[in-house]
Structure 1
Amino acid sequence: MENDLPTTGDSELDRAIRQWLDYDKNPKTVSLVQRMVKEGAVEELQKCFSSRMEFGTAGLRAAMGPGISCMNDLTIIQTTQGFCRYLEECFGNLKERGVVIGYDARAHPDSGGSSKHFASLAAAVFISHGIPVHLFSDITPTPFVPFTVSHLGLCAGVMVTASHNPKQDNGYKVYWDNGAQIVSPHDKGISKAIEKNLEPWPESWNTEEALKSPLLKDPYQDIHTQYFTAIQKHCHHREINKSSEVKIVHTSVHGVGHTFVQTAFKAFDLHPPYAVEEQKDPDPEFPTVKYPNPEEGEGVLTLSFALAEREGASVVLANDPDADRLAIAEKQKSGQWRVFSGNELGALLGWWMFHCWKQENPDAAAVKNLYMLSSTVSSKILRAIALKEGFHFEETLTGFKWMGNRARDLMNQGKTVLFAFEEAIGYMCSPSVLDKDGVSAAAIAAEMTSYLATKKTSLSQQLTAIYEEYGYHITKNSYFICHDQDVIRKLFDRLRNYGDQKGSYPTKCGDFSVSAVRDLTTGYDSNQPDNKAVLPTSASSQMITFSFSNGGVATMRTSGTEPKIKYYTELCAAPGNSDVAQLNKELDALVDAIIETFFEPQKNKLQPKLE
């Protein structure tokens, strides 16, 4: 082995380490690998070198550190070289149109990795092949990258971010020329191209030259102006906003969102929100939170609640660190804070977007051209609103890549896509960004809050009014942790061959009757005339949805990024049924029946969610 390093005794591992040391030019990661070899840390080396990060439709996401299984300078170069080659195959005009690269504020001193540095290396790779690069000169929210792709007509976009993941992680998120995240088969094509381009090209390390290149442009000022001009189209009550006395607190949870949300409020003529001082500046250590994920609820919002109490604010807005998602909490009359679920916020924002659209489009026929979307594991409240109001509702597979691509298809057909959401606090309130966007959602939610205040109505009261009009939609979601793929496979196989009958699904779940089954792993859907699912299927991931005769819906699926079996349940009541206590009781009973019936006999091998 080079540098007179000892061998590990594993020839494949030694070969991978040797290649790494031949290719890597980052002294910190080289030194970390050399130290592990000298210390004989075989287990640690195997974690770093046994398998390359898998490039999927969400791009890459992994811990920063040395080796092919981690995010570092070399894997960023290898990934970008593959992506560059794939784009050259797909676009004959790549050198005219170019790409955009953005980044958040993450950093990992131990390995010398940071989002900004990774973005510079990616830029160097593209520029070395004569491809123009629009590289942001400063941190931006993730939504700015898809916005730039669409606004400038580029071939692709890269955002270096790990969103709300723990501090040691980073990611490489990819957008196509339609402004949406990539979907299959692009992930497989890029993955193959990465494998063919592992050796760094001569200029790939040369960030200094790349940053001086005439092919490098900084889109920051232009995109900053254009983005806020674009989202202003969704500002409908400027006079109310100016005079509103509603006080709002905002936290960016040590991420990039602070200045952008302040600017969005200004664009809407809203009074600036109170910023949580300890969390407003980017800090890759995320010192005040265990996990920088506002979806976790109260634990992440403790400082926001304290500031709201001091300032007399009634609403808290929280973005995740790359500002593509939004959480909201509201102080109740009892003095307690209510953190809205992603589904509840989907109901509120969906209602608000339609309310504003209807005011500006009195022509009754125009509604036939209108669409709203949500993912298949999200609440069906938009479907209920659509049925009554006459617009179209569609569900897509889980993830904004599906909603963004479907929205683009509809827009290309001349349709209006007003709103899309997923239960994991992701909202697309403007077709200018075909992805979730926590910045525009924050301003739009603040305007909704100000408007409701003029009607002496709170967000909670408005949510109740929505449910009273369109039917209560009560959800209960959770998960089991399971590291054993065999246990997961047996659990889902049992549901597909229920009662040992091949191809037979359960017809009962405790006291509840199953009225329909959709299996997006096999492509079966009992609701379709030919029993074939309309939505895309994937044999590599598990996902089954059961509908029940009482209006309940339950989806069980595996996570693409975590060792989890997730379940999502919802009870959809007809308008007029407002016995919330009874509905909650019925949903609890359904969830208990699902766990007892569907998760048996593997239940003792599963670890429940830690509350």
Structure 2
Amino acid sequence: MTPTVRTAVQEWLSHDPDPASAAELAGCSEDELAERFAQPLTFGTAGLRGPLRAGPNGMNLAVVLRATWAVARVLTDRGLGGSQVVVGYDARHRSAEFGRAAAEVFAAQGFSVTLMFAAVPTPAVAFAVRGTGAAAGVQITASHNPPQDNGYKVYFPGGLQIVSPTDRDIEHAIASAPPADEIPRSPVTASGEDQVRAYLERAASVRRTTGPARIALTPMHGVGGEFALDALALAGFDDVHVVQRQFAPDPDFPTVAFPNPEEPGASDLLLALAADVDADIAIALDPDADRCAIGVPTPAGWRMLSGDETGWLLGDYILSDRQDKAVVASTVVSSRMLASIAAAHGARHVETLTGFKWLARADEGLDARLVYAYEEAIGHCVDPDAVRDKDGISAAVLACDLVVALRGRGRTVPDALDDLARRHGVHTTTAVTRRVDSPQDAAAMMTRLRAAPPDTIAGVAVTVADLQPRTDALVFTGGDDAASVRVVIRPSGTEPKLKSYIEVRCAGELAPGRARAAALQEAVAAAVRAWT
């Protein structure tokens, strides 16, 4: 351990306000201390996020106190000192403690603080910031990460996630923050019931139709269960069956390997329940209820839709009722079908970088209004006027409404997907993930690909577009009107992974088109695995 690291460790230990964290550090080996003090947590795709552990690159009380002091300093430097701030938290380990600590730091810095009365969905905080005109919001959450993680998500005016230079300004302020045990804190009384009630009423209001639907629901051990039931009831859906083993918040997520509805097996209990009760639709929320996955019955049995499939359906449904200037948005790693759907409805499609911090800004500078945005990772923003972030609960209400609307026309969700394929071509999407030992390994693989990019993929000639310096990603495209491929390769923003997002489009009749698309997709995936 270098003298610099040794000094940093001693300084941290002498000012850690949490005796348990200080004891944890005292028991670490020199190698582990060097790793924990190599660099602090930084703002990524969705804020600070990391393992619950002591030291500057973990989530702990000292990090939360210093980060909050930094956010308060940046707000004050921008002339927003004394403004309103909203603080919420999910049901993960230590989230309530961290949320209260953040609220108390803001209060001591002179801000008017709303500290949520209980663990709440992340979109409820985004809604409250936007609806009350607050200067900022903080949600303590690690979303769908493993149980040993937590995080710190920041919203600024309008309920938008922060982007550069704000994230870098906060990081610089953290570096100059006082020692954690010297940061003042003032008591805060919890509140926010009115804002959460308004959020649920607004989420329910996205419904357009009337009529019943039988719904199977899981909040996947997170905070969304009771709130989703309330929103669905306000929308007129009262025939809801829940996965009892996953309904109560549990930070250990005991029934799933990963608390992410996208993960294989995570929605098995939900789909079994849906089949048992003969449901019309199955809804899986992630632990902080900002993402929503949809399951539907098919002739071959129940299956979960991909995030892209849900995005196509909801985008088409929203645009079918829009007469004004409308913008829809998806990310560079999502399917391109939404662009075709938008063109068919006379709307504008915007492609953004990965993450809702960019999607939420898709209509900036345009003479049109964002009405829908999605990312393939089951994030959907169906009411941007109210929540400029992904919102699993309002998306769930709209998805249930779509099922009722389709039934009124004698159609099903698989029918609707077939209709979209006939109009816009068969689109299939998949992903290939290469786990690596460190982010540096992923960066090295990107450097190698840039130096010698392939010129064909699965026999299809491709060209490559490098998205640097906007973001670290390569986009390979090729093909013609009959069949085309698209592969986007980028390092993960939250984990040591290299991720490849594959889309194949084939024209023609459905059955042969799907067969061709499936075969081409398999070949493309095999090629990507071979050179990543």
- Scaled by the length of structure 1, what TM-score is found? 0.82
Q: Aligned equivalents of 2:466 and 2:234: distance in 1?
A: 45
How many angstroms does 1:351 deviate by? Answer: 1.6
1:564 is matched with which residue: 494, 497, 503? 497
Q: Tell me, what secondary structure is at the counterpart of 2:157?
A: coil
What CA RMSD, in Å, does the superposition of the two structures yield over aligned residues? 2.2
Q: Aligned equivalents of 1:47 and 1:489: distance in 2?
A: 19
Query: What is the letter of the counterpart of residue 161 of structure 1?
Result: T
Aligned to 2:76: 88
8 Å Cα contact 2:5/2:34 also seen in 1: yes
Q: Tell me, what secondary structure is at the counterpart of 1:296?
A: coil
How many angstroms does 1:123 deviate by? Answer: 1.1
1:225-258 residue CA offsets vs partner (Å, 9 max, x unmatched): 32133234421112x2xxx2x3211000110001
In the alignment, structure 1 residue 173 sits paired with structure 2 residue 173: no
Query: What is the letter of the counterpart of residue 236 of structure 1?
Result: R
Q: Aligned equivalents of 1:129 and 1:326: distance in 2?
A: 36
Aligned to 1:32: 24
Q: Tell me, what secondary structure is at the counterpart of 1:248?
A: strand
Aligned to 2:369: 416
How many angstroms does 1:507 deviate by? Answer: 4.0
Q: Aligned equivalents of 1:492 and 1:73: distance in 2?
A: 35
Gaps of 5+ in 2: none
8 Å Cα contact 2:464/2:475 also seen in 1: yes
Poorly superposed stretches of 4+, deviation over 6 Å: none
Pairing 1:189-200 to 2, within 5 Å after superposition: 189-200=169-180
Q: Aligned equivalents of 1:58 and 1:231: distance in 2?
A: 22
Aligned to 1:105: 91
How many angstroms does 1:594 deviate by? Answer: 4.1
Identity of aligned residues (%): 34
Aligned to 1:354: 319
Cα distance, 1:517–1:170 mapped onto 2, change above 3 Å: same
1:70 is matched with which residue: 58, 72, 76? 58
8 Å Cα contact 1:479/1:566 also seen in 2: yes
Cα distance, 1:31–1:15 mapped onto 2, change above 3 Å: same
Q: Tell me, what secondary structure is at the counterpart of 2:159?
A: coil
Residue correspondences, number:
528
Cα distance, 1:64–1:594 mapped onto 2, change above 3 Å: closer
In the alignment, structure 1 residue 13 sits paired with structure 2 residue 5: yes
Between 1:550-559 and 1:426-435, the stretch displaced more is 550-559
Cα distance, 1:510–1:346 mapped onto 2, change above 3 Å: closer
Cα distance, 1:509–1:185 mapped onto 2, change above 3 Å: same
Q: Aligned equivalents of 1:116 and 1:545: distance in 2?
A: 44
In the alignment, structure 1 residue 587 sits paired with structure 2 residue 518: no
How many angstroms does 1:150 deviate by? Answer: 0.9
Aligned to 1:427: 380
1:160 is matched with which residue: 136, 140, 143? 140
Q: Aligned equivalents of 1:324 and 1:354: distance in 2?
A: 22
In the alignment, structure 1 residue 301 sits paired with structure 2 residue 267: yes
Q: Aligned equivalents of 1:74 and 1:485: distance in 2?
A: 25
Query: What is the letter of the counterpart of residue 281 of structure 2?
Result: V
Aligned to 2:423: 469
Q: Aligned equivalents of 2:20 and 2:237: distance in 1?
A: 47
Aligned to 1:518: 465
How many angstroms does 1:172 deviate by? Answer: 0.1
How many angstroms does 1:199 deviate by? Answer: 1.5
8 Å Cα contact 2:130/2:158 also seen in 1: yes
Between 1:48-57 and 1:320-329, the stretch displaced more is 48-57
Cα distance, 1:466–1:509 mapped onto 2, change above 3 Å: closer
Q: Aligned equivalents of 2:439 and 2:88: distance in 1?
A: 36
Q: Aligned equivalents of 1:497 and 1:66: distance in 2?
A: 39
Q: Aligned equivalents of 1:286 and 1:66: distance in 2?
A: 22
Q: Aligned equivalents of 1:24 and 1:254: distance in 2?
A: 31
Q: Tell me, what secondary structure is at the counterpart of 2:180?
A: coil
How many angstroms does 1:387 deviate by? Answer: 2.1
Q: Tell me, what secondary structure is at the counterpart of 1:125?
A: helix
Cα distance, 1:42–1:484 mapped onto 2, change above 3 Å: closer
Cα distance, 1:203–1:48 mapped onto 2, change above 3 Å: closer
How many angstroms does 1:168 deviate by? Answer: 0.9
How many angstroms does 1:482 deviate by? Answer: 2.2
How many angstroms does 1:139 deviate by? Answer: 0.9
Cα distance, 1:165–1:313 mapped onto 2, change above 3 Å: same
Q: Tell me, what secondary structure is at the counterpart of 2:335?
A: coil
Pairing 1:280-359 to 2, within 5 Å after superposition: 280-297=247-264, 299-334=265-300, 336-355=301-320, 357-358=321-322
How many angstroms does 1:490 deviate by? Answer: 5.2
1:440 is matched with which residue: 382, 386, 394? 394
- Scaled by the length of structure 2, what TM-score is found? 0.93
How many angstroms does 1:506 deviate by? Answer: 4.7
Q: Aligned equivalents of 2:256 and 2:441: distance in 1?
A: 33
Cα distance, 1:484–1:115 mapped onto 2, change above 3 Å: closer
8 Å Cα contact 1:270/1:447 also seen in 2: no
Q: Aligned equivalents of 1:352 and 1:258: distance in 2?
A: 25
Pairing 1:106-125 to 2, within 5 Å after superposition: 106-107=92-93, 114-125=94-105
